[in-house]
Structure 1
């Protein structure tokens, strides 16, 4: 292995940073909710300070390791920063909850909207990492578009009908579901790989 970080290694590092940021947010919520005794709304607002800091760190780490701000992490990190700051300014955790809905709606609309034009965003983002057939890029785009749309719908249902504690737990479960979905896509990618390559799991970034 060379001294230069390989693309799969950068991907794993970014995923580790994303997971660490989410874990820090959930830990901050738990401390404020169950140790300090704050109600769910106030605990979410206090934990948002951690989210904003973690999102900034994730963007910095991504830039340092890749020497650029990749489009997808920039989008998700930007959403986290903007809605995190708005949550703190207006002291309203609802803004933090709808961030997941809006972010995934944008991603779903972008991916699904690209299908009729055969201009697949994933081909632009991942084309240097591995080569897929046209059917592969189209299938990957469709799968992730539907996944992001489903996340947006489920998030709306959860935050509107469940407690703050349940929504925070849902956020943790969503990260696990995203990771599992990404691993599942490896089998699809291998079926449509042009070159004899083994792809790194493509984890959908649903946001912190």
Structure 2
């Protein structure tokens, strides 16, 4: 199904809105305990329980409005449902905290498999949005695969050694900033392998 154009502000709200709501709700409930059906739950668990249907709703709305979902969005939603659900069901926040690790490992692994086949799955996902050669896509894909693997290790280190507060701040702001900075620092690749310029250098940066 071909994609439809929607208001970019609405698209951004649907993509990051649930994360913002999760963060705000966590700040309001982090020091409280809730008793439901004779079982005590931390605020983090209840916020996670609310985050799951919110993510499902926002993803379905994105699909309805744009006519498509990326594989990344689908995989992310599935892991949120599975590991968020396990955290709520077992009353154990560790499962939800593991989710970013698994997401980044899956992405790194998928990109790595493509590289072994001489392909850039990143190029397929982004539908050739950047005006760079195939070799440029391969360089960018190698870097992104390594970056995702590093993020998976970092998430493991944070949630296993730091407080829930620290992990929530890291998940909400740290990971988002890291991804943004990664792409901001890839200007050299975009320039070197640009298909819009003549005589681009083909060295691997």
The TM-score normalised by the length of structure 1 is: 0.79
Larger displacement relative to structure 2 (122-131 or 81-90): 122-131
**Closer, same or farther in 2 for the Cα pair 1:61/1:185, shift >3 Å?**
farther
Partner of 1:178: 179
Q: Distance in 2 between matches of 1:186 and 1:54?
A: 35
On the 8 A contact 1:28/1:50 being kept in 2, the answer is: no
Deviation of the 1:114 alpha carbon: 1.9
Tell me whether 1:114 sits opposite 2:109 in the alignment. Answer: no
**Closer, same or farther in 2 for the Cα pair 1:108/1:185, shift >3 Å?**
same
Q: Distance in 1 between matches of 2:25 and 2:171?
A: 14
Deviation of the 1:106 alpha carbon: 0.9
Partner of 2:23: 26
On the 8 A contact 1:62/1:70 being kept in 2, the answer is: no
Deviation of the 1:128 alpha carbon: 4.6
Q: Distance in 1 between matches of 2:25 and 2:94?
A: 17
1:5-46 deviations in whole A, cap 9, x for unaligned? 27xx65x75444332211111111111114xx339x712211
On the 8 A contact 2:48/2:88 being kept in 1, the answer is: yes
On the 8 A contact 1:105/1:149 being kept in 2, the answer is: yes
Q: Unpaired segments of 5 or more residues in structure 2? A: 35-40, 198-205
Deviation of the 1:165 alpha carbon: 0.9
On the 8 A contact 1:100/1:155 being kept in 2, the answer is: yes
Q: Unpaired segments of 5 or more residues in structure 1? A: 197-208
Structure label with greater radius of gyration = 2
Partner of 1:204: none
Which structure features the higher share of helix residues? 1
On the 8 A contact 2:14/2:59 being kept in 1, the answer is: no
Deviation of the 1:152 alpha carbon: 0.4
Tell me whether 1:138 sits opposite 2:138 in the alignment. Answer: yes
Determine which structure has greater relative contact order: mean sequence separation of CA pairs < 8 Å that are 6+ residues apart, divided by chain length. Answer: 1
Tell me whether 1:58 sits opposite 2:68 in the alignment. Answer: no
The TM-score normalised by the length of structure 2 is: 0.80
Partner of 1:38: 33
Partner of 2:167: 167
Aligned length: 187
